């Protein structure tokens, strides 16, 4: 069995070993910038850890794990364009440093590189995991479109928001586990349980991301704190606050979200004061815990010895205890 540290070191070594062309410079330098900026490597670690549940060797899962990480970073590059995000992992985003056109092309190239890595998987296994990988890709696009639709929607329900993050964020964690488990030789029922584990863990992960955007530490979180508030993004916190606020508090909150000329720092402070008054942070923490517990219920159903589950449990704890 591998430790989480060993899996991440294995992934980092594979990423460092990628031989990217040197030209065109403005196509590949942003890719290197993105991959060198670190990241938690949670998704590829899930691929390898799920494989390791059922197999002592993870060698056959390495191309798929690398493909998942490359694809994830492709989505981040394009996501930052759509969010007009200045920082990612405490560094300028590709969009901010090189502009929109470069970010689009570099992201496209990274997507193609992901499929090239996936194609290195054994053919018999590839037939099984290719539909899962494509399903992930389509789900992310669907979720991202929903997220953009929310920007102009007059009202978004909690259920609609949870469905969006299920597609945009949780699908990748779910699919990563199912790909790894399939390569490792897990049973059909175990693959279903892995998917449920990943889906609920992924929803908890995104809700925590929403919470950290408002309450995190810039030096730890690596992204601009309060950016979701400044851009009027309909996060779980905003949706919940709008649904529970009443009277003057609701008017004040709507005023902040509708304001176009307010100083960003003042807007962040004002909205957070309302969040604090309504207990939105605690409400969000409770929902996160609910999805985390659902994940653990599915996790317990996976039919392998408990000592083989340690690595996946460690990753789940890392996700739930994160501050970045």
Superfamily of domain covering 4-320: Farnesyl Diphosphate Synthase (1.10.600.10)
Q: Return d(Cα 324, Cα 321) in angstroms, integer.
A: 9
CB 170 within 8 A of CB 129: no
Q: Return d(Cα 126, Cα 119) in angstroms, integer.
A: 7
Report DSSP letters for 144-192, one per residue: HHHHHHHHH-S---HHHHHHHHIIIIIHHHHHHHHHHHHHHT--HHHHH
CB 176 within 8 A of CB 46: yes
Q: What angle do CA 141, 147, 148 make, to 5 degrees?
A: 90
The pLDDT score that the predictor gives to residue 39 is 83
Burial 295-314 (b: 16+ CB within 10 A, else e): beebbeebebeeeebebbeb
| DSSP designation for 87 | E
SS3 (DSSP) at 275: helix
Q: What is the pLDDT of residues 47-87, one digit of tens each?
A: 999 999 999 999 999 999 999 999 999 999 999 999 888 88
Task: Give the long-range contacts of residues 293-296, CB within 8 A, separation 24 or more.
Answer: 294/196, 294/200, 295/196, 295/197, 295/198, 295/199, 295/200, 295/201, 295/204, 296/197
Domain coordinates in residue numbering, the chain: 4-320
Q: Which helix (H) or strand (E) holds 88?
A: strand 87-88
Residues in the chain: 324
Q: Which two tokens stand for residue 129?
A: 């995991």
Q: Return d(Cα 306, Cα 316) in angstroms, integer.
A: 15
Listed in sequence order, the DSSP H helices in the chain are 4-16, 25-36, 42-54, 62-83, 94-98, 100-118, 123-152, 158-165, 171-184, 188-215, 218-221, 227-230, 236-244, 247-258, 264-278, 280-300, 310-320
Mean pLDDT of the chain: 94
The pLDDT score that the predictor gives to residue 260 is 83
220 has a pLDDT exceeding 70: no
Q: Between these two residues, 38 and 29, which has the higher pLDDT value?
A: 29
Q: Return d(Cα 298, Cα 309) in angstroms, integer.
A: 12
Q: Mean pLDDT, to the nearest integer, of 129-148?
A: 98
pLDDT more than 70, % of the chain = 98
Q: Between these two residues, 87 and 110, which has the higher pLDDT value?
A: 110
The phi, psi pair for 279, rounded to 5°, reads 70, 30
């Amino acid at each position: 069995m591998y430790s989480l540290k060993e899996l991440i070191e294995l992934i980092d070594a594979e990423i460092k070993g990628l031989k990217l062309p040197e030209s065109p410079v403005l196509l590949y330098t942003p890719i290197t910038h993105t991959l060198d900026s670190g990241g938690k490597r949670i998704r590829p670690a899930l691929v390898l850890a799920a494989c390791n549940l059922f197999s002592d060797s993870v060698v056959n899962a390495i191309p798929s794990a690398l493909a998942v990480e490359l694809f994830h970073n492709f989505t981040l590059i394009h996501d930052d364009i759509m969010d007009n995000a200045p920082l990612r992992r405490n560094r300028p985003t590709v969009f901010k440093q090189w502009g929109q056109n470069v970010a689009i092309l570099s992201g496209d190239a990274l997507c193609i590189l992901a499929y090239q890595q996936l194609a290195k998987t054994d053919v018999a296994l590839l037939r099984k995991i290719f539909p899962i990988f494509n399903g992930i890709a389509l789900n992310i696009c669907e979720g991202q479109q929903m997220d953009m639709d929310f920007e102009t929607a007059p009202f978004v329900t909690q259920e609609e928001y949870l469905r969006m993050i299920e597609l945009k964020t949780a699908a990748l964690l779910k699919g990563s586990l199912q790909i790894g488990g399939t390569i490792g030789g897990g049973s059909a029922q175990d693959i279903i349980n892995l998917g449920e584990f990943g889906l609920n863990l992924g929803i908890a992960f995104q809700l925590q991301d929403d919470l950290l955007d408002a309450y995190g530490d810039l030096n730890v979180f690596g992204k601009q704190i309060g950016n979701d508030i400044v851009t009027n993004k309909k996060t779980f916190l905003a949706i919940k606050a709008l649904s529970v606020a009443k009277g003057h508090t609701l008017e004040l909150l709507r005023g902040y979200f509708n304001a176009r000329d307010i100083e960003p720092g003042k807007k962040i402070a004002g909205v957070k004061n309302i969040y604090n008054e309504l207990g939105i942070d605690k409400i969000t923490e409770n929902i996160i815990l609910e999805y985390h517990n659902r994940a653990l219920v599915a996790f317990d159903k996976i039919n392998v010895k408990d000592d083989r589950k340690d690595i996946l449990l460690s990753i789940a704890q890392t996700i739930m205890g994160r501050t970045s």
